[in-house]
Amino acid sequence: MNRAWAIATLLLVAACGSTSSVSANGSDAATKATTPQNDLTVTAIEFGYDAKQWTVPAGKPFTVHFRNQGTIEHEWSIIKLGRDIHKQSEFSDDHVLTEVEKITQETVSEKVITITKPGRYQILCGLQGHFDAGMHSVLNVV
Ligand SMILES: [Cu+2]
């Protein structure tokens, strides 16, 4: 009986071990993208962000740590639901729900944001030409 328990425990440990090794080889990023986070680190470069999507909880504050590792200014703007743009020329400040204002290279800006309404929000850099160059992602609020 004791021996059987010992084997069961070993199998459990082995199962946990294999789960974490799966995380290490890439599914961690995918999980992070779909599990609500209340602490986001976002990195910007020319011309894009380090993730295609992030997920945050609805109605609760989350903190964005916005890092610019590019060589020019960038920003992280959340677009109002239903106001997604498809090209830069459609963009105006009127589309912006809230944003981390533009920062220069090698700087970090932090902002605490609460979005009450769940949905799929477009994220973009509104600086001239950056959207058209591919600088946009998605924020899922769940
Ligand atoms: Cu930009």
Domain CATH number, residue 54 = 2.60.40.420
Q: Are residues 57 and 105 in the same domain?
A: yes
Q: Residue 134 sits in which domain range?
A: 35-141
Residues lining ion ligand 1 (Cβ < 5 A) are 74, 125, 127, 130, 135
- How many CB atoms are closer than 10 A to CB 50? 14
Tell me how far the alpha carbon of residue 53 lies from the centroid of ligand 1, in angstroms.
16
Q: Are residues 12 and 46 in the same domain?
A: no
Structure confidence at residue 27 as a pLDDT band (50, 70, 90): low
Number of domains comprising the chain: 2
Q: Residue for token digits 């850099």?
A: 125
Tell me how far the alpha carbon of residue 136 lies from the centroid of ligand 1, in angstroms.
9
- Give the pLDDT of residue 25: 44
Distance CA 96, CA 49 (A): 18
Q: What are phi and psi of 129, to 5 degrees?
A: 90, -15
57 vs 1, residue with greater confidence: 57
Q: Are residues 41 and 94 in the same domain?
A: yes
Q: Are residues 41 and 3 in the same domain?
A: no
Tell me how far the alpha carbon of residue 52 lies from the centroid of ligand 1, in angstroms.
15
Structure confidence at residue 33 as a pLDDT band (50, 70, 90): confident
Tell me how far the alpha carbon of residue 98 lies from the centroid of ligand 1, in angstroms.
16
Tell me how far the alpha carbon of residue 105 lies from the centroid of ligand 1, in angstroms.
11
Report which DSSP code applies to 24.
I
* Weakest mean pLDDT among 9-13, 27-31, 52-56, 113-117: 9-13
Please name the residues in contact with 126: beta carbons below 8 A apart, sequence gap of 6 or more: 75, 77, 91, 93, 96, 99
Q: Are residues 73 and 5 in the same domain?
A: no
Q: What are phi and psi of 85, to 5 degrees?
A: -110, 160
Q: Are residues 59 and 20 in the same domain?
A: no
Q: Are residues 57 and 87 in the same domain?
A: yes
Q: Are residues 44 and 29 in the same domain?
A: no
Report which DSSP code applies to 65.
E
Q: What are phi and psi of 89, to 5 degrees?
A: -65, -15
Closest CA to 75 of 122, 109, 121, 106: 109
Q: Are residues 79 and 57 in the same domain?
A: yes
